[in-house]
Structure formats: C-alpha cells, structure tokens
Amino acid sequence: MEQTLKTAPPISEVWEKRPLIISGPCSAETEEQVLQTATRLAKTGKVHALRAGIWKPRTRPGSFEGIGTKGLPWLQQAKKLTGLPLAVEVATGKQVEDALHFDIDILWVGARTTVNPFSVQEVADALRGANVPVLIKNPINPDLELWIGAVERVSKAGIKNIGLIHRGFSSYGNTEYRNAPMWHLAIEMKRRNPGMMIINDPSHICGRRDILMDVAQKAIDLDFDGLMIESHIDPDNAWSDAKQQVTPERLAEMLNEIVWRKEDINSEAYHQALEKLRQQINHLDDELLQLLGQRMKIADKIGEFKKNNSITILQTNRWNEILERAYQKGDKLGLTREFITKYFDAVHMESINHQNRIMNS
C-alpha cells in the first residue's frame, strides 16, 4: 500500500499546545501495534504526541519489562507515517542516549525514577548538551521535595523545557484509585513552580478505565495544561496496564466530552463579579482566623487549668464528643466528614501544642 509520509511540527510548537494531549500505549509491544495505534490516534486529530514505554519499570519481576531499544525504530516509523512527535520514558543514561539517537522528541522521567536521586542524576548527566524537552513525573511517594529535586537536577543539566506530570501517589490499601491523586500536592507543586507546564496522567491515577473521565475533568478544572492518557488498539490484551487503557476512538470521545476551561477571561464584568466574591471570601477568612485565635486563647486557659490540677492534655472522650458534634453540624452545612476530620485534626493539634507550651512553661 502506498503511504504518504508526514513531517512532525517543530517540538517547540508542540510544547506550547494547550491543552497538550499525549497518548499512546503503556508499552510498545510489536511494530504492528505501534503503527496501528499511532495511525488511529492521528486520525482523531486530537493528539499532539505519541507516547510509548520502551523500557518498563515493573513492580514485580516476571511482568513484561518492555521491548527495549529494538522498539525505537518502530516509533520512528510511526512518526514518519503520522507526523506525531514521540515521547518515551527514560530511567538510565544509556536509555537517554538510545532515545536521543532515535530522535525521540520528548523524554519523560517515570515515577519510580524520580524517587531515586542517583537515577535522576544519571539521567540528567546523560541529558547534558541535549536540546530536548523533559517531563518529570511525581515520585511514587508523596514527597514534593523529591519532585522538585528532580526538576533541579534536570534543569542544572541545561534542559530548558521542563514540564511536570501528575500521576498520583501510591498508598497501601487504596481501593478506588491505583495511585491516590492527592490533588493538594499537585496544586502546591504548581504554586512552587509558577509558569512550569503541568499535565495530568489519569491512566496511572485510576488504574481502570471507567473513572478516567472524572479524573481528567478534575485536572482540567484545576487548570492543568494537558493530559497524558494511555491508549491501545486492543486494551484488554495489552501486555501492561491492560485495565486502564482505552482505544484511540474512546480517547477521542473522552476528549470531546471534557468541558475545557480557561483560567481567565478578559471580560470586565466577569472580573468585577469575581472580585466581589473574592472580597467576601477574604472577609470570611479574616473572621475565621480571628475566631481561631480566640479559640486558642481559651485552649491556653484550659492548659493552665489542667496543669494546676495535674491532668493530661488529651481527653479522648472529649475529643470524640467534639468530632461527633462537628460531623452532625457539618452535615447540615454541606461539609463532608472528610473535611471535618481534617479540619478538626488540625485545630485539635494546634490546641494541644498550645496546651503543651503552657504545661511545660
């Protein structure tokens, strides 16, 4: 069959796409699978880069650990056929060399690599002098410093275009998600790296395809710059991560269903209305802080009282009573149990710290 060849757009242009959409199989398995996935993804017209795992860091030995370097020419071929630039995960210096040798356009550091500063440094050293964008996934454990450390190592190697991928954090016994999103950590990472692109990887957060949409939508609502979603021509028979992959056509449907939002609009009326509401929020926050200050002053008095009577700070019954009251009131006010628990935990700890200071002064 006669096939026309396509040229991929310059990677600097692709890097600027918003929302940036990267998709492709968890793993490159066969040449046929790579080419078919790429062709079907390109046909959707909604994907900016093709991803495929070549070297797979698997939790348990005996699983498919990736096709290795021999899969890189398949990707090159896919790029020629579709014009889609390529993204590949790298975890060692040798993998960086091989990927660059085969003209991979975007490299990403996987979650199992970001946890290990030795590995990240090895990758960074191999990147020195290369002009390739690098995406850095969050480490599997919820540790922002490791994530930031990886960004710093890659940046010090002279890489200019660095982006982040939020793929969730592993936690023992979590049932709903394969990796808990812990959105607050991604939000904090965004705050600490203003201007740095951050995309979301719903596939590795969810671990199952039925809830991908919810997570993808949430990421867009939180102003993420794009999505990396795994796709496969025959998801159920994928050699890795079978449960979370979707067909290229299903991916296109999902991207159609997502409500895309922007951070800001230029309308004066919108800004005025928003400003009014924000002032109300500031006002209420000020009042809450005042009240919390007063609450702690009373805690100090209780601390004095407990000290004078030699009784313990923690009174478990009283703590249960506080929580129970709060759950009931919170319920009527539309506040979730999860929020009430977190909020009262924090308030209670602050109160204990205050009493502790008094007791030991």
The answer to the question of residue 167 lying near ligand PEP (CB under 6 A) is yes
DSSP 177: -
The answer to the question of residue 26 lying near ligand PEP (CB under 6 A) is yes
Which of residues 111, 126, 146, 229 is near ligand PEP by CB under 6 A? 111
The answer to the question of residue 153 lying near ligand PEP (CB under 6 A) is no
- Tell me the two tokens of residue 330: 């919170």
- How far apart, in whole angstroms, are the C-alpha atoms of residue 25 and residue 118? 28
Minimum distance of ligand PEP from residue 67's CB (angstroms): 13
Q: Reduced to 3 states, what is the DSSP secondary structure of residue 71?
A: helix
Amino acid at 252: A
Residue 209, contacted partner among ligand PEP, Mn ion, none, CB below 5-8 A by kind:
none
Nearer to ligand PEP, 66 or 303 (CB): 66
Amino acid at 165: I
The answer to the question of residue 19 lying near ligand PEP (CB under 6 A) is no
- Tell me the two tokens of residue 138: 């969050």
Which residues, 6+ apart, have CB-to-CB distance to 166 below 8 Å? 137, 138, 181, 185, 186, 189, 198, 199, 200, 201, 205, 219, 224
Nearer to Mn ion, 98 or 241 (CB): 241
Minimum distance of ligand PEP from residue 115's CB (angstroms): 10
DSSP 178: S
Nearer to Mn ion, 105 or 241 (CB): 241
The answer to the question of residue 26 lying near Mn ion (CB under 5 A) is yes
Nearer to Mn ion, 109 or 159 (CB): 109
DSSP 272: H
- How far apart, in whole angstroms, are the C-alpha atoms of residue 107 and residue 99? 8
The answer to the question of residue 232 lying near ligand PEP (CB under 6 A) is no
The answer to the question of residue 354 lying near ligand PEP (CB under 6 A) is no
Minimum distance of Mn ion from residue 300's CB (angstroms): 52
Nearer to ligand PEP, 40 or 167 (CB): 167
The answer to the question of residue 225 lying near Mn ion (CB under 5 A) is no
The answer to the question of residue 241 lying near Mn ion (CB under 5 A) is yes
- How far apart, in whole angstroms, are the C-alpha atoms of residue 116 and residue 71? 26
CB 166 within 8 A of CB 196: no
Minimum distance of ligand PEP from residue 230's CB (angstroms): 7
Amino acid at 314: L
The answer to the question of residue 53 lying near ligand PEP (CB under 6 A) is yes
Nearer to ligand PEP, 137 or 153 (CB): 137
CB 199 within 8 A of CB 187: no
- How far apart, in whole angstroms, are the C-alpha atoms of residue 282 and residue 290? 12
- Size of site (CB under 6 A) for ligand PEP: 9
- How far apart, in whole angstroms, are the C-alpha atoms of residue 82 and residue 5? 7
The answer to the question of residue 204 lying near ligand PEP (CB under 6 A) is yes
Residue 167, contacted partner among ligand PEP, Mn ion, none, CB below 5-8 A by kind:
ligand PEP
Q: Which residues pair with 86 in a beta bridge?
A: 50
Q: Which residues pair with 347 in a beta bridge?
A: none
Minimum distance of ligand PEP from residue 125's CB (angstroms): 20
Q: Which residues contact ligand PEP by CB under 6 A?
A: 26, 53, 89, 110-112, 137, 167, 204
Q: Which residues contact Mn ion by CB under 5 A?
A: 26, 241
